[in-house]
Amino acid sequence: MSWYKMNIEPPLQDLVKQLRNEGVNTECSCGHNMYIQCQYILDGQIQIIHKTVWDYLAMNKGVFGYDEVDFDIVVKHKVRNGHSYTSLDISFPVKKNTEKLENGKQDL
């Protein structure tokens, strides 16, 4: 029995194998919930956003009410009837404290 048949749930086995054959590093998949998680290599646009947000947060420590320079960039690429719709979200850790900060800035 092949590794794919033993470790990957149907009906995703053949697609995971094809993705891996194309050089995509699949991390996990679930046939019940119908998803495949893959590693994503940063492209130029995301690198620009990463650097811009990182530089802004590093130069404006405390701007959102915490000193950590943490954020998430989540890429969403939807395909509907063969048409691509790509967007991304930038999110920041949320603090439980919602007190007003100095200069009128508010905690997240």
Domain span at residue 71 reads: 44-98
Residues 12-31 have pLDDT tens digits of 999 999 999 999 999 999 99
Residues 17-72 have pLDDT tens digits of 999 999 999 999 999 999 999 988 878 899 999 999 999 988 888 777 777 778 89
How would DSSP label each residue in the chain? --HHHHHS-TTSHHHHHHHHHTT--EEEEETTTTEEEE-----HHHHHHHHHHHHHHHHTTTTTS-S----EEEEEEEEETTEEEEEEEEE-PPPS--PBPGGG-B--
pTM of the complete model: 0.66
Domain assignment of residue 19, yes or no: yes
Residues 91, 53 share a domain = yes
Residues 94, 65 share a domain = yes
Residues 52, 21 share a domain = no
Residues 52, 11 share a domain = no
